[in-house]
Chain A
Amino acid sequence: MVKARSIPGKIGLFLLIILIVTFSIFPFLQIISTSLKYQWDWGNPSLIPTQVNPDAYKELLNIGQDEKNVPQSVLDLLDDSDLTKQQKNEILDKYKDSSDVFPFLKYFRNSLSLSTLAAIFSLLLAIMGAYSFSRLRYRGRAVIQRGVLFVYMIGGILLLIPLYRIAVALGFLATPAGTFTALLIIYLVQTLPVSLYMLGNFFRTIPYSIEEAALIEGVSRFGIIWRIVIPLSWSAIVTVFIYCFMIAWNEFLFASVFLRGYEQLYTLPIGLRSLFVSKNAIWDRIMAGSMLTALPVIVLFMAIQKNLTGGLSEGGVKG
């Protein structure tokens, strides 16, 4: 579609792009602005802080933080108890350590593993299922195909209680690994219907003639999926991957209930929320936390999105 454009056309395109970008990123400018303002500056409507305040980032990333002051009441409590000196010191050291305000790296690692796994499993199952929908003929296909989406329409908060009940009854929540798995399966269920549907629709648009040629050459169905279908629908697969990843990355309700007992498994949305519910004035920290949560995803997708530019054209398909 590369065509010679007229000068006004170019300017028009340029303005349009500026408009789109501004629309997309304006709220993020607000986030950055607030995260860098002092508390006394929050009443200032301008996006430019009167004075730049990096403390929120320092605190969340635990850079240059002093040890916490120990209040007198804690010292009294320990002094009046029968604890040994060593026991007292252990307790005090644990108290003074301030690295747990927002264990960003831990939350990030948990979120990343959960989301990546959920997205990959969802993709694998969906590629198989969608291929089956779009290429193979068998009885019951239409029922499954529609049923999957149909089932997806029961939404919302009401799935929470029954699913939690199942997970407890099957003993999933007794161990951290089981809890992780249970949540992973739930994210799979939440994303699979859409993955199946979107990929199924996309596969259908790939000309069957290419596959026919391969079939005649004796390539197996799995070979076709692996060597023809996946490369040809790469951009759709990446899109579905992003979709699944984002569902798991941002999900709060199920994560908060299922992970409740396992602090070491908390994900970023839970961490962000617990930052928020403190009643003190903390907008700078919340916004800094939001930035830190969004940033890795942005970087990740900037890397992935190169694959979107290629797509079919790069695969060299010419009918």
Chain B
Amino acid sequence: MKRLALIALMAIAVLSMAYANGDTEAAADSGPVTIEYWTTQTQSDRLATIGVLVDTFQVMNPDITVKVIAVDENQMATQMNTSASAGTLPALLEAATPNTVAFGTAGLLNEAAATDLINDIGADEFYDGVLKLNQTGSGGNYYSVPFHGWVQGIWYRADWFEKAGLNPPKKWDDIIKAAEYFYDPGNNQYGILVGTMAEAYAEQCFTQFAMSNGAGLFDRDGKLIFNSPEMKEALEYYAELAQYNPPGPQTWRARDYYIQNKMAMFFYSTYIMDDLALAENAAGSLTSENFAELAGTSFDPDLVKNTRMAPIITNTQDAGYGTIVSLAFPDTGNAAETAAAQKFVRYLFSPNAYITFLHMAPGGMNPVIKDIAVNPRFQQDPKGLFENYGTDKMAEIINGLDSIETFGIVDGKRIDAASVIYSKQIIPQMIYKITQEGMSVDKAMDWAEAEMRKLM
């Protein structure tokens, strides 16, 4: 009986293997050039849109087959490094600019291909600030082609602020005053969400504070000036602010508390517009008859209406922050593949294709090409954001892309070492040490400085 079971199991296994193989062989038909396009857009609805773009492109260019492979952002480094070591890099890569720059400085990218493409489109078509983020150390060259971007800011409950008579969270003093005011852990309500877990989100939040206090990692000659009074002041302020966080180390996922009415402010990108629209959608599914049952739950139908964004933080100067997602051409050593990838990117930048792409996530994906931002088709987004927030507010947000400040650009000059520091997450680890492990600011800064020096 038992041996019979074993035999049966084996039969199933062999059959299922035959099945799996038979199924897969059909997929291997290829045109003269097949390129891999890695994208960090992993959601199925976004991939469906990319599928439309690829299909259309392939009909127009029957010689080129584009194979879309979705790679999770957190997996990107692993995937790039394994395929670089085995010589199986993709021809085209869509990833956050800090990553593409880090890959570029590691020598994984074909800079000439990116530079050609930018010049082909016209460098002056792009927002200046956006191009700067992609610049190599030598002038006029680029690691990758900026594609779309988001802006970060403090999102807050305008109605709560109004009722309490507080100023919108723009200046340092106002932010901390509001955070303290709304912090009420006894009633499970918290003042603010800033990143305190050792991951990129913490650096994103902190960078904006550091910049607004005029603190940088490097001077324009590339000398490390991390250990400055301005940086220390920003860190001390950040640590104080973090006391009004929900308990323990926190990251962007805690934005759920805001949607549940348990938090007054949180740092987030413009992607939240999409999420909030979704929340509103979900709320819309409730009928008035089951509303009665909702008494006492944390649901607020007016949440979206009462949410505002403060994109700029001010102390000694104004600072905005955001991230550009860029298209890079990894160095595959195959000219035909790179040429095909360039052709595809050129197509992605044609107005209709570009708007289609951006409309996958209205608010989250904003154009880096100036003309597109004012294109009426672009402003008719499927989630009605331009309608909700107003064209002016949206224009202000998109223009924010032009003034993104990061530690990697000093007076318009790129400092390559900054991208390595970013990718090694030294600043998030330092923030974790201060806010969670109770290390003193001085000691944590010394630790971070030593780690940074090791990388240079």
Contact = CB atoms under 8 A, between A and B. Distances in A.
Interface of A: 38-44, 50-51, 68, 71-74, 76-78, 80-83, 87, 90-92, 94-95, 100-102, 109-110, 112-113, 116-117, 120, 160-161, 164-165, 167-169, 173, 175-177, 180, 226, 230-231, 234, 253, 256-257, 260-265, 273-274, 277-281, 307
A72 B382 contact: yes
Contacts of B25: 175-177
A94 to B, nearest CB: 6
Given A260-B71, A281-B279, A176 B43 contact: no
A116 B9 contact: yes
B82 A77 contact: no
A319 B286 CA distance: 69
Nearest to B48: A95
Given A113-B16, A180-B21, A260-B79, A77 B55 contact: no
12 contacts: A40-B283, A73-B355, A73-B377, A77-B356, A91-B52, A91-B55, A109-B19, A109-B20, A175-B25, A260-B71, A264-B24, A265-B24
Interface string B36-50: 100000111100110
B86 interface: yes
Given A117-B13, A176-B25, A265-B24, A164 B69 contact: no
B85 A164 contact: yes
Q: A38, A40, A175 — which one has the most chain B CB atoms within 10 A of its CB?
A: A40
Contacts, number: 196
A109 B23 CA distance: 11
A74 B42 contact: no
A113 B67 contact: no
B82 A164 contact: yes
Contact of A168 (B36, B69, B87, B290): B87
B374 interface: no
A68 B48 contact: yes
A307 B2 contact: yes
A310 to B, nearest CB: 8
Given A40-B298, A109-B16, A74 B49 contact: yes
A177 B21 contact: yes
B12 A39 contact: no
A170 to B, nearest CB: 11
A176 B16 contact: no
Interface residues of B, number: 78
Given A72-B377, A81-B352, A307-B5, 5 more contacts: A77-B56, A120-B10, A173-B88, A256-B78, A265-B24
Contacts of B380: 72
Interface string B283-310: 1011000100110011100000000000
A256 B24 contact: no
A29 to B, nearest CB: 20
**Closest 7 pairs (CB-CB, A-B):** A43-B260, A176-B24, A113-B16, A168-B86, A43-B298, A278-B43, A40-B299
A174 to B, nearest CB: 9
A203 to B, nearest CB: 17
Nearest to B55: A91
A73 B375 CA distance: 12
B359 to A, nearest CB: 4
Given A168-B88, A177-B21, A264-B24, A280 B278 contact: yes
A174 B297 CA distance: 54
B353 interface: yes
Contacts of B19: 109, 113
Contact of B16 (A44, A74, A112): A112
A281 B259 contact: yes
A218 B397 CA distance: 86
A220 to B, nearest CB: 17
Given A82-B60, A279-B275, A76 B352 contact: yes
B256 A43 contact: yes
A184 B13 CA distance: 12
Given A73-B356, A77-B52, A273-B72, A264 B257 contact: no
B111 to A, nearest CB: 25
B79 A77 contact: no
Nearest to A75: B356
B75 interface: yes
B293 A231 contact: no
Contacts of A50: 293-294, 297
B315 to A, nearest CB: 30
A246 to B, nearest CB: 15
B298 A44 contact: yes
Contacts of B81: 161
A259 B86 CA distance: 15
Q: A39, A160, A180 — which one has the most chain B CB atoms within 10 A of its CB?
A: A39
Nearest to B352: A77
Given A83-B59, A168-B87, A234-B2, A176 B21 contact: yes
A86 to B, nearest CB: 10
B454 interface: no
B72 A274 contact: yes
Interface in B352-408: 352-353, 355-356, 359, 377, 380, 382
A44 to B, nearest CB: 6
Interface in B61-120: 67, 69-75, 78-79, 81-83, 85-88
Contacts of A230: 2-3
Contacts of A175: 25, 28
B271 interface: yes
B86 A164 contact: yes
B201 to A, nearest CB: 12
A51 B299 CA distance: 13
A163 to B, nearest CB: 9
Given A68-B48, A71-B382, A168-B88, A261 B279 contact: no
